[in-house]
Amino acid sequence: MKLAFFGAADFSIPTLELLINNQFDIGLVITKPDKPSGRGKKMLSPQVKALAQEHKIRLSQPQYKSEILDKIKNVGHFDAAIVVAYGLIIPQEVIDYFPLGIINIHGSLLPKWRGPSPIEAAILNGDDKTGVTIMKISEKMDAGDIYLSKELQLDNTITKPQLYKELSHLGANLLVDNLPPILEGDIEAKAQDESLATYSHMIKKEDGLIDWNKSATDISREVRAYLGWPGSRTSINYNDVIITSVTVDKSDGKPGDFFVNSSGDLGIYCGKNSLIINSLKPAGRKEISGSEFARGYLKNSQ
């Protein structure tokens, strides 16, 4: 069967690689347009583009959703499509074009955490498990019928980059192992329970600004969920920093005040308890330990 593949974010790379390595007939890869990035506004391409070009697969980067169907028709007939982290809602006319529908990998155990940031939401909520879901795309976001899902146990240390990597590979393997029976109709998709649906919100840059009135537990989850982007940002003694790793401590004090304990560790009081800062990045500098920061930036400041 001939397949089209929609993907843009790095989360989609393991699936496309595994489909290619397992000799599935990928006739077209659709990804987002190149975009300017950084201070120099250098054009940055999705990694999916490079992978498609490496394997000489036809590539399309439609600027607008209204262009997608024509781009597909220009290539030819397809039986089904795979969507992984494409980042755009696919119009119904595109869904209807594929006789066997569009199959999607979603980074949560649907119907929990529909929406654009399910991986961050699982960490922020302190969930003890998450997973991936293989579903049939519908026009309503993440509401399609479910083919399969697979759980992954969580602890209170995993970061967003770690969880992204684990789920991307978990989803890729689950899809490729089960794609033939899905396409042949041997695995039936079942409707989601709408009463159990929860939603994740789009992560914004301002979400990374730390509110020290929150509990140490909540802030520690934010540090792990926002690692990389948007980053957990604050100012310590007039020094702008991004905090990258923390440990919850039971001591209490005025929220936002910093302290250095008897071991030389840097800590900050929260609305409840405090955080020991394991590592952070001062503005324009490389990542250093909290104790290094205390020695170099906070000497004689208390």
DSSP readout, 191-223? ---GGG--BPPPP-GGGGB--TTSBHHHHHHHH
What confidence tens digit (pLDDT) does each residue in 198-234 have?
999 999 999 999 999 999 999 999 999 999 999 999 9
How far apart (Å, rounded) are the C-alpha atoms in residues 292 and 300? 14
Question: Are 90 and 144 in contact, with CB atoms under 8 Å apart?
Answer: no
pTM (2 d.p.): 0.95
Q: What are the tens digits of pLDDT across the range 19-60? A: 999 999 999 999 999 988 877 778 889 999 999 999 999 999
Instruction: Give which of 122, 90, 117, 119 is closest to 103, Cα–Cα.
Output: 90
Type of residue found at 127: D
Residue type, 248: V
> How confident is the model over 76-129, as pLDDT tens digits?
999 999 999 999 889 999 999 999 999 999 999 999 999 999 999 999 999 999
